[in-house]
A and B are shown apart, each in its own frame.
Chain A
Amino acid sequence: MVGKYRIEVNNKYTKYFLTVQRNFTILQGNSATGKTELIRLLSQYEENGEASGVHVSCDVPVHVLRGRFWEEDIEHFHNSIIFLDESEQYAKTKEFAETAQKNDNYFFIVNRDPLHELSYSINEIYTFRNAAASQKYHEDFRVYNEMVPLNNSLISKYLSETAIRKIARQMPSEILPEEYKNA
């Protein structure tokens, strides 16, 4: 699967704007930013369609992967965007990574823990920015949720220079920024 896809999800109260353009998109960030609510709305839409009261707009099918029969379920999805909540512990497993990486779907994963088995770009880690109903959107929702890149530098500011050089010595040189190659 290739290309960039925009997804809009809304019910009467909340609207989400998402963009997916890689095999793996990771959603993290503060609590109560609407991550679980998004998965809940998508699950309801998947079960009941428009009759759920949830509206989903996307050029490709959207699915939610849940539960321990994920391996069987995933076989039914092709050229789709698949959402996983952080409760899906198998997302950390080698089995899931092997299945997902040779799959023709995009995966949108809500998880704060590092997913060591998956190959994803640091540029595909996002959080939600919430905005109350405003003139920007000209629509009458209580809250709008937009995906924005997650700023990880908040943690890095606590790394001492000594600590950075210790980390650099543990990493393969081909991934190091130039200034750390002689650390």
Chain B
Amino acid sequence: MLEIFFGEYKGENYIPNPDIYFDNQHEDEWMEEMLTKQMVSDIDKSKVIGPHLIDSPFLGPIPPERLSGGVKTLIMIDHDYEHVFNASACGDNCAKWLLKICETEDRLVRLGYIMNFGDNKFTIKINNTGKIVHSMSELMDELIDHDLFPYFFRVPSLHSSRSHHMDRGRLPYPCPLSPCTL
């Protein structure tokens, strides 16, 4: 099952930069596994030729180190259960693969943004509260009910003494209720 910690994770086994960690820790054999090849194909639109060579339609022939941060993070999550990886390195297009990896493995990851896991039912445990959710609506409700939601949309404190810079009349920070988000 996928378990997510939302916010700033402080554990000693936390890897904030999985991109660099992959460059220095991945195993050659991981690159030849079916799931790895599927993820590289889907996310990077590239083909794994061998453990040291990927054929990218955009970058040409590249080593694994030039893969996207998202797919590198997924490969590390799939193989390294001792560390908690920063899944903010993964975009929304990695969400289905994160769920797939955790169909057969339990993994805890950290997220600093609300990844879109889509409209289909899923099973995710929110580490901050212990609740298991099965849809994006449930996930959002749980974050709101436990005051985790403001972390993602920067609700300022009413008592903040910090002055807010108004950029030509626009809001100084993303507002979830602004016209471009609803």
Chain A residues packing against B (C-beta within 8 Å): 13-14, 22-23, 28-34, 36-37, 86-87, 89, 101, 112-114, 116, 119-123, 125, 130, 132, 142-143, 149, 151-156, 158-160, 162-164, 166-168, 170-172, 175-177, 180
B180 contacts A152, C-beta separation under 8 Å: yes
- Distance in angstroms from B26 CB to nearest chain A CB is 16
**Can you name 16 A-B pairs with beta carbons within 8 Å?**
A13-B58, A31-B69, A31-B91, A32-B67, A32-B68, A36-B19, A114-B152, A120-B172, A121-B167, A122-B181, A125-B174, A151-B180, A153-B181, A154-B116, A167-B153, A167-B177
In whole angstroms, how far apart are the Cα atoms of A152 and B181 in the complex? Answer: 5
4 closest Cβ pairs, A-B complex = A31-B70, A113-B112, A32-B68, A30-B91
Known: A112-B91, A170-B150, A175-B171. 10 other contacts (CB 8 A): A31-B89, A32-B91, A34-B58, A86-B88, A119-B164, A119-B165, A122-B178, A122-B180, A155-B114, A167-B144
- Distance in angstroms from A115 CB to nearest chain B CB is 8
In the complex, which residues of chain A have a beta carbon less than 8 angstroms from the beta carbon of B178? 122, 177
- Distance in angstroms from A110 CB to nearest chain B CB is 10
A158 contacts B140, C-beta separation under 8 Å: yes
B92 contacts A30, C-beta separation under 8 Å: yes
For B157, the closest partner residue in chain A by CB is: A172
In the complex, which residues of chain A have a beta carbon less than 8 angstroms from the beta carbon of B20? 87
**CB of B179 within 8 A of chain A?**
yes
**CB of B175 within 8 A of chain A?**
yes
- Distance in angstroms from B71 CB to nearest chain A CB is 6
**CB of B158 within 8 A of chain A?**
yes
**CB of B93 within 8 A of chain A?**
yes
B58 contacts A164, C-beta separation under 8 Å: no
- Distance in angstroms from B104 CB to nearest chain A CB is 22
**CB of B149 within 8 A of chain A?**
yes
User: How many residues on the B side are at the interface (Cβ–Cβ under 8 A)?
Assistant: 60
In whole angstroms, how far apart are the Cα atoms of A161 and B85 in the complex? Answer: 33
A156 contacts B141, C-beta separation under 8 Å: no
Find A119's partner among B92, B144, B173, B176 (CB 8 Å cutoff).
B173
Among B85-136, those with CB < 8 Å from A are 88-94, 112-114, 116, 135-136
**CB of B52 within 8 A of chain A?**
no
- Distance in angstroms from B79 CB to nearest chain A CB is 18
A164 contacts B88, C-beta separation under 8 Å: no
For B168, the closest partner residue in chain A by CB is: A121
In the complex, which residues of chain A have a beta carbon less than 8 angstroms from the beta carbon of B22? none
In whole angstroms, how far apart are the Cα atoms of A37 and B46 in the complex? Answer: 15
- Distance in angstroms from A90 CB to nearest chain B CB is 11
- Distance in angstroms from A77 CB to nearest chain B CB is 20
Find A156's partner among B17, B88, B181 (CB 8 Å cutoff).
B181
**CB of B155 within 8 A of chain A?**
yes
- Distance in angstroms from A44 CB to nearest chain B CB is 13
In the complex, which residues of chain A have a beta carbon less than 8 angstroms from the beta carbon of B67? 32
**CB of B16 within 8 A of chain A?**
yes
